Amino acid sequence: MKPISRKKTFKTPNSRKSSTKTAFQRRFLFSGLLLTSLILAACGSLTAPDDPTVVGSPPTLPPATETPQPLPTEESASPTPAPTEPSPTATPVERVASMPDAGEYLWAEFDRNLRSPTFLTHAGDGTGRIFVLEKLGVIQVYVDGTRQETPFLNITSLVDSSRSERGLLGLAFHPNYAENGLFYVNYTDLNGNTVVARYQVSADPNTADPNSAAALLNINQPYANHNGGMIAFGPDGYLYIGMGDGGSAGDPQGNAQNPNVLLGKILRIDVDAAADGTPYGIPEGNAPGGLPEIWALGVRNPWRFSFDRLTGEMLIGDVGQGAWEEIDILPYGILGGINLGWNYYEGTHPFEGTAPDSASLIYPVVEYAHGNGSCSVSGGYTYRGTQLPGFQGVYLYGDYCTGIIWGALPGTDGFWQTSQLFQLNANISSFGEDEAGELYMVDLNGAVYKLIGR
């Protein structure tokens, strides 16, 4: 393992402009770590984790042309009050000082014989139930850890799951689900396009009403891959939607940097404020110019992202092209218009074209190279549960092909340290979080595992 050198990057004509970076970005967003991919272990075995490696001192940056200003937030950008959702705590963030000893933990089987599970989440309604998506269009519900005989929702007749990156891909429960019974899904329809739709629970709390569907978005997909799929409510109460760049390879249509298409973006909408003939409103602070739903641009395929339930920061696993996988971190309250660089860059590495002088592109905090079987990052969660204090504040993420799971922590100097913790015989389609903040791993081959102590 070694830190990424950015001195060379700043000297290239198409480098990301250091003069446009804020003090926050210099500390957090210019940090990253090159991960050495490891060979897949034998069935069911774990590899010994590497020792945590702290990135060294930050490289010397060229002098800025202007005094860095604080990163703009929605509060500073507009006097309009944010939704009355609880804000992340302002107390010091609790994190362990170093990586846990992975030998003291294991991934215990939670369920098996699922049909290509893609995601796991909870309703946030105090019931402790767990919901698991199956790619073909089914949501399974678990009460006290037991899968119910009747699925929560079955929309297989609406879903195209015939290709590897199509199917039922995302699920998010409304922040007030306990009161209104509303939830949202992201799936590929029979025409191969992305649909984000709202549903409502039935009189039976463990069964949704399949006839309650109301489409929010229907987005044309030019190719069968890079459909994105993740949806989640942020701490601001808005719904965030991850959209891939439309597919093929290398973003041939230039979607990720085009503000007039929704592909290659992270969208943000207000599901509680229908306006102008649409079933949703546009929050203050989205990206200026272009389509109003856009909050961030320059992503390739943000397959999985999450919000730290303590800090509110957004952690994005953006799947790379053919060489580099990346993790991006954005602080709570950041103003829309963030540009994560694709396809000018793949990770921190120049890919195609030259960014305009006006572009302020943001580096990932972590990246790893393809090699020895590594192929696709599955972004995870920051552990905020209570059962595993040794993991408090550790962000877990993994590689789909190798089954490697890493942990990441910010160092005291703001640079991130990361270390391999586990390697499983699994195709990691997703991680998940239950209502108590305990973590799960979803294996597309049909199983779900929970992280526990030995």
Res. 180: pLDDT tops 90: yes
Least confident of 247-256, 398-407, 427-436: 247-256
Which CATH number, 3.30.70.250, 2.120.10.30, 2.170.120.20, 3.40.50.10490, labels domain 30-52+102-453?
Answer: 2.120.10.30
Q: What is the phi-psi region of residue 137: left when phi exceeds 0, alpha when psi lies from -120 to 50, beta otherwise?
A: left
User: Which of helix, strand or coil describes residue 69?
Assistant: coil
Number of neighbouring beta carbons within 10 Å of residue 288: 12
Q: How far apart are CA 230 and CA 401, in angstroms?
A: 19
Give just the sign of the alpha carbon dihedral 205, 207, 208, 211.
negative
The yes-or-no verdict on residue 397 having pLDDT over 50 is yes
Comparing 3-7, 202-206, 291-295, 312-316, which segment has the lowest mean pLDDT?
3-7
**pLDDT averaged over every residue in the chain:** 83
26-63 pLDDT per residue, tens: 333 333 333 333 222 323 333 333 332 222 222 222 23
Q: Where are the domains of the chain?
A: 30-52+102-453
Element (H, E) at 76: helix 74-77
Q: What is the pLDDT of residues 101-145, one digit of tens each?
A: 999 999 999 999 999 999 999 999 999 999 999 999 999 999 999
Q: How many CB atoms lie within 10 A of CB 322?
A: 10
Distance CA 360, CA 12 (A): 15
Q: What is the mean pLDDT of residues 418-426?
A: 97
Lowest mean pLDDT among 79-93, 276-290, 327-341, 345-359: 79-93
Residue 384 predicted with pLDDT over 90: yes
Task: Give the Å distances, CA to CA, from 218 to 18, 158, 185, 190, 243.
Answer: 38, 13, 12, 12, 12
pLDDT attached to residue 61: 24
Distance, in Å, from the CA atom of 219 to the CA atom of 222, rounded to the nearest integer, reads 10
Q: Where are the beta strands (DSSP E) in 298-390?
A: 304-307, 314-318, 324-330, 338-339, 345-346, 349-350, 366-369, 377-382
Return the pLDDT at 352.
Answer: 96
How high is the pLDDT of residue 92? 59
pLDDT in the model for residue 70: 30
How is residue 19 annotated by DSSP?
A: G
Model confidence at 224, pLDDT cuts 50, 70, 90, reads confident
**Structure confidence at residue 11 as a pLDDT band (50, 70, 90):** very low
Rounded Cα gap, residues 228 and 247, in angstroms: 10
**DSSP label of 390:** G
Percentage with pLDDT > 70 across the chain: 80
Picking from 244, 151, 117, the residue whose alpha carbon sits closest to that of residue 192 is 244
Q: According to the model, what pLDDT value does residue 29 have? A: 38
Q: Which of 454, 452, 435, 445 is nearest to 120 (CA)?
A: 435
- Give the residue-averaged pLDDT of 382-399: 98
| Helices and strands, number each (H, E), in the chain | 4, 31
